[in-house]
Amino acid sequence: MKKTNLIFSFLLLFISSACSQNENYPPIQDFDESSFELVKIIDGIDIPWGLAFTDNDSFLVTDKKGILYHVSDNEKKIINGIPEIIFSRQGGLLDVAVDTNFKENNRIYLTASVSDSNNGSNTSLYSATLSEDNLTNLKQLYKATPDSQEERHFGGSILLKGQYIFFTIGDRGNRDVNPQDINLDGGKIYRLNLDGSIPDDNPFIGVDNSKEAMWSYGHRNPQGIVDGLNDDEIWIHEHGPRGGDEINIILDPKPGENPLNRNYAWPKATYGINYSGSEITKKRTLDGTIDPFYYWTPSIAPSGMAMIKDSQIYSDWSNTLLVGSLSFRYLERLVFDNSGIVKREKLFPRVGRVRDVNISPDGYVYISVEGEGIFKVLPK
């Protein structure tokens, strides 16, 4: 009997060890918050998914349930005229971005889950003109197809860079098909001209049976995207399964580059496992694909991302990424150099599910928190 109990205990220990995941280096540290404070700017926004500044103290914020707010002078107004959305488990009104010439053209961009059918929804990108409390000139720039009954992995993050707009679409819960098929939407990063046309120098132009708007593929559910340190790169992060959240650097294509090598490997290689604890693949890296710049184990469920290259306000935060954690309910600061991530800090623990992070034109960090609202990070 004792021998049976001993064997049973050993099996339990083995199963537990196999299903657990050690924290990836560097271990996260507590942050000394004595020199900073969080100031609530506005509340009453249930799921503040996306945040974009129209001026130093004015910004647009989406509520995933289907409301667009304009916040100014610590008051919020509802903006009318948003597209008809499908609000579901992970779908709804997603990100918002403002044109680089917003003061001249009042143009904004939105992503949302919308339907062209009676068979679910998919991610769509729009442009519109903000006219006081209304959106006019609403134009659909891109719509992923086909619609899907899956209510997850919409991606939806937007980045404006020069004359281009980058945006993300997740694998839509169809991991074994969409991310690795260049003829299908989902599990991709896209690049368009600001009017929705496809740039002539996109890497998949002329590639048979491909989505020519595609910039890279092999992604799971990217929901953070920022301009990189250098002109020829963007940085994204994406949700992994259980473990294996990633930060990826996506470079501009080089002359003569094979576009099929712009593959970030999901689900053929991953540091994550299934939620059940079973294995997805034995491969952590794969020849002919691009490895992550960093990965989190365990998963923090990253959401929103901002990069601080240099700051007079946050003087010790050069070469810093700020990433929200939905799972652990804090803001994470990651310090990087050419070798990778060298330091991690846990900021404002227990603040709540940090959905987005952005930096105002005058250099202040703002975060959106589910069920709480929008906060400004102020040095004391």
153 catalytically annotated: yes
Q: In Å, how far are 159, 176, 315, 362 from 179, measured between CA atoms?
A: 20, 7, 40, 38
Cα(first)–Cα(last) distance of the chain, in Å? 64
- Phi-psi group of 316: left, alpha or beta (phi > 0 → left; psi -120 to 50 → alpha; rest → beta): alpha
SS (H, E, C) 73-114: CCEEEEEECCCCCCCCCCCCEEEEEECCCHHHHCEEEEEEEE
| Contact status, residue 92 vs residue 154, Cβ threshold 8 Å | no
Give the SS3 label for residue 69: strand
Angle at 352 between CA 374 and CA 378, to 5 degrees: 45
Residue of 70, 153, 237, 239 marked active site: 153
Place of tokens 């990826």: 248
Residue 146's identity, in one-letter code, is P
User: What is the arrangement of strands in the sheet containing 67-72, beginning at the earlier edge strand?
Assistant: 48-55, 58-63, 67-72, 75-79
Could you tell me the sign of the dihedral formed by the alpha carbons of 229, 230, 231, 233, in that order? negative
| Contact status, residue 333 vs residue 341, Cβ threshold 8 Å | no
Query: How far apart, in whole angstroms, are the C-alpha atoms of residue 1 and residue 242?
Result: 36
Query: How far apart, in whole angstroms, are the C-alpha atoms of residue 95 and residue 98?
Result: 11
Return the active site residues.
153
